[in-house]
């Protein structure tokens, strides 16, 4: 990118005197590069087969390839004691370094459950060049149909991740020092014990830590289990806990294993070695005790960690010549955190924030993470979705997540399945300036029964918004 390309920050272009748009601050790594985002409005119904395929031009041999999917997933339709696996192939094979990138669900009762799911992971050792990425579905038991992409806009995202983080404090970067911990252990851990942990070298004291969980969580019967992060043996206090919970009741056999994601940001952690651990224990707000929860069944568990500077508006760096600039893929990250609020609502506004967007040519990425469930009638369908200045995204598409659940062996019961939930995606074409960002809940469409939903039950809720450049 040449120097005459305008990047607007604080109302000034790169060529304006006193502009803060560009910085030459030193950093000895390129943490994220070559970001490609592909919205997908398709659907895939299959017992065993290939879903959408993508071609990605990987630039460097040394980087990791991070893959992310967010959209509706149904596992093992109308099948008892059945499971479905969704997995990525990279150039015709599954990732082996460190583990395959999978989404998995197994359940013990007959159901038609269309619900948002997300999965992500980094694969190391993928060579530079044209890379073919496919998502596949197959049954692990039984013959119930698996489904991908129903009644909501989905997306796939690909990006290169620095393999060897540097040592500098990277004062001009919003995100750096990315590490990915992976484990293939299925453990029935509870009683506040550790499921997995790793040591992370935090390089700066003026950064926060962002952590992201991807893995299979399970609790049996009418019991509640909570999974949460600790940093050096203590839960986050600034701004608050980072956790997710699973509670299911009133199905004939309330027994579901499913891949979930939840995430958050913790401030106030000093530079140096930080022990980051994921624990499982009881839900202190719930009268039930944990039953027999398990973590990591059948698929790999992942914890991604990154140092982050909230509010940093630097969008590009000059090289040593002072003439060539490189865009920073992520900047101007903001984070909001709320304690549990137990919001029961059919249709309406859940959260509203104001975000000051610096550039008119950047995309706006949103990530809401919290617990959610539908409370109502069979054949009801609820949708959680974002608006920007009162309009849903149209470029490339809506940012939404749905829940549609029919439990055939408990049609006369209100089945409770409260679980970690995300609404996430990137919207292009939003002008610079103050943007009103709102998370709402409502019907999936006119053909569905209106029902109550419960959002932010027991656990924290968080919202991360950032500007991003793709390509």
Segment 54-62 mean pLDDT: 97
Q: Please tell me the predicted confidence (pLDDT) of residue 471.
A: 84
Q: Please tell me the predicted confidence (pLDDT) of residue 21.
A: 43
Q: Please tell me the predicted confidence (pLDDT) of residue 410.
A: 78
> Environment class of residue 354 by beta-carbon count within 10 Å: exposed (0-12), middle (13-18) or buried (19+)?
exposed
Instruction: Count Cα neighbours of 280 within 13 Å in the Cβ-side half-sphere.
Output: 22
Q: Please tell me the predicted confidence (pLDDT) of residue 124.
A: 97
Confidence of residue 185 (pLDDT cuts 50, 70, 90): confident
327 versus 318: which is more confidently predicted? 327
Q: Return d(Cα 226, Cα 243) in angstroms, integer.
A: 7
Of the ranges 118-127, 222-231, 361-370, 447-456, which one carries the lowest mean pLDDT score?
447-456
Identify any residues that bridge with 64 across adjacent strands, giving them in sequence order: 161
Of the ranges 137-146, 299-308, 442-451, 453-462, which one carries the lowest mean pLDDT score?
442-451
Q: Please tell me the predicted confidence (pLDDT) of residue 406.
A: 85
Confidence of residue 427 (pLDDT cuts 50, 70, 90): very high
48 versus 51: which is more confidently predicted? 51
Q: Please tell me the predicted confidence (pLDDT) of residue 411.
A: 76
Question: How far is CA 270 from each of CA 146, 178, 204, 229, rounded to the nearest angstrom?
Answer: 46, 17, 7, 17
Segment 19-30 mean pLDDT: 61
Segment 284-296 mean pLDDT: 81
Residue 14 has pLDDT above 50, yes or no: no
> Residue 111: left (phi > 0), alpha (psi -120 to 50), or beta?
beta
Q: Return d(Cα 72, Cα 142) in angstroms, integer.
A: 21
Instruction: Count Cα neighbours of 365 within 13 Å in the Cβ-side half-sphere.
Output: 19
Of the ranges 38-47, 73-82, 296-305, 360-369, which one carries the lowest mean pLDDT score?
38-47
Instruction: Give the chain's mean pLDDT.
Output: 89
Q: Please tell me the predicted confidence (pLDDT) of residue 377.
A: 65
Q: What is the pLDDT of residues 103-116, one digit of tens each?
A: 999 999 998 989 99
Q: What is the pLDDT of residues 382-422, one digit of tens each?
A: 999 999 999 999 999 999 999 998 888 877 777 888 999 99
Q: Please tell me the predicted confidence (pLDDT) of residue 423.
A: 98
Residue 23 has pLDDT above 60, yes or no: no
Q: Please tell me the predicted confidence (pLDDT) of residue 461.
A: 97
297 versus 291: which is more confidently predicted? 297
pTM of the model: 0.93
Residue 22 has pLDDT above 50, yes or no: no
Q: Please tell me the predicted confidence (pLDDT) of residue 304.
A: 97
Q: What is the pLDDT of residues 69-122, one digit of tens each?
A: 999 999 999 999 999 999 999 999 999 999 999 999 999 999 898 999 999 999
Q: Please tell me the predicted confidence (pLDDT) of residue 322.
A: 65
| Percent of the chain residues past pLDDT 70, beyond the cut | 91
Q: Return d(Cα 125, Cα 98) in angstroms, integer.
A: 9
Both tokens assigned to 452 = 């109550």
Segment 237-266 mean pLDDT: 92
Q: Please tell me the predicted confidence (pLDDT) of residue 408.
A: 84
> Environment class of residue 36 by beta-carbon count within 10 Å: exposed (0-12), middle (13-18) or buried (19+)?
middle
239: cis peptide before it, omega within 30°? yes
The set of residues, in sequence order, having a beta carbon less than 8 Å from that of 418 and lying 6+ positions away, is 245, 246, 247, 248, 371, 372, 373, 454, 457, 458
Q: Please tell me the predicted confidence (pLDDT) of residue 320.
A: 60
Fill in the DSSP letter of residue 14: T
Residue 17 has pLDDT above 50, yes or no: no
Q: Return d(Cα 64, Cα 147) in angstroms, integer.
A: 29
Q: What is the pLDDT of residues 325-367, one digit of tens each?
A: 678 999 999 999 999 999 999 999 999 999 999 999 999 999 9
Segment 306-313 mean pLDDT: 95
Residue 11 has pLDDT above 50, yes or no: no
Q: Return d(Cα 229, Cα 296) in angstroms, integer.
A: 16
Q: Return d(Cα 90, Cα 53) in angstroms, integer.
A: 10
Confidence of residue 3 (pLDDT cuts 50, 70, 90): very low
């Amino acid at each position: 990118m040449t120097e005459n390309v305008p990047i607007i920050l604080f109302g000034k272009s790169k060529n304006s005197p006193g502009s803060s748009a560009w910085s030459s601050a030193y950093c000895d790594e390129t943490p994220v590069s070559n970001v490609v985002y592909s919205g997908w409005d398709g659907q895939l119904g299959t017992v065993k087969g290939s879903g959408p395929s993508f071609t990605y031009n990987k630039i460097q041999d040394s980087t990791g390839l991070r893959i992310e999917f967010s959209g509706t997933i149904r596992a093992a339709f109308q099948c008892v004691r059945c499971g479905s696996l969704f997995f990525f192939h990279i150039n015709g094979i599954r990732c082996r370094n460190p583990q395959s990138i999978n989404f998995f669900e197994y359940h013990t009762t007959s159901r038609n459950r269309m619900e948002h799911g997300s999965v992500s992971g980094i694969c190391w050792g993928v060579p530079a060049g044209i890379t073919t990425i496919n998502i596949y579905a197959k049954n692990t038991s039984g013959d119930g149909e698996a489904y991908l992409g129903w009644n909501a806009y989905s997306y796939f995202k690909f990006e290169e991740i620095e393999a060897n983080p540097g040592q500098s404090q990277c004062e001009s970067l919003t995100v750096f020092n990315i590490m990915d911990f992976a484990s293939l252990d299925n453990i029935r851990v509870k009683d506040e014990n550790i499921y997995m942990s790793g040591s992370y070298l935090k390089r700066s004291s003026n950064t926060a830590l962002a952590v992201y969980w991807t893995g299979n969580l399970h609790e049996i019967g009418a019991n509640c289990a909570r999974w949460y992060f600790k940093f050096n043996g203590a839960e986050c206090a600034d701004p608050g806990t980072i956790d997710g919970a699973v509670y299911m009741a009133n199905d004939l056999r309330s027994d579901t294993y499913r891949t979930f994601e939840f995430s958050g940001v913790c401030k106030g952690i000093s530079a140096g070695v930080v022990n980051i651990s994921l624990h499982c224990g009881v839900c202190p707000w719930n009268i039930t005790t944990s039953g027999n929860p398990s973590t990591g069944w059948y698929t790999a568990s992942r914890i991604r960690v990154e140092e982050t500077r909230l509010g940093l508006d630097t969008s590009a760096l000059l090289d040593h010549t002072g003439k060539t600039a490189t865009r920073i893929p992520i900047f101007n990250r903001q984070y909001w955190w709320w304690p549990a609020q137990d919001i029961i609502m059919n249709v309406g506004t859940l959260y509203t924030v104001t975000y000051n967007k610096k550039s008119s040519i950047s995309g706006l990425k949103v990530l809401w993470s919290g617990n959610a469930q539908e409370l109502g009638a069979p054949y009801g369908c609820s949708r959680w979705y974002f608006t920007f200045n009162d309009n849903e995204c149209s470029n490339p598409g809506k940012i939404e997540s749905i829940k549609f659940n029919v439990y055939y062996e408990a049609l006369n019961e209100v089945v409770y399945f409260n679980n970690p939930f995300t609404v996430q995606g990137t919207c292009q074409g939003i002008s610079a300036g103050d943007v009103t960002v709102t998370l709402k809940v409502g019907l999936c469409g006119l053909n569905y029964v209106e029902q109550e939903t419960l959002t932010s039950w027991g656990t924290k809720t968080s919202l991360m918004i950032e500007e991003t450049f793709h390509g």
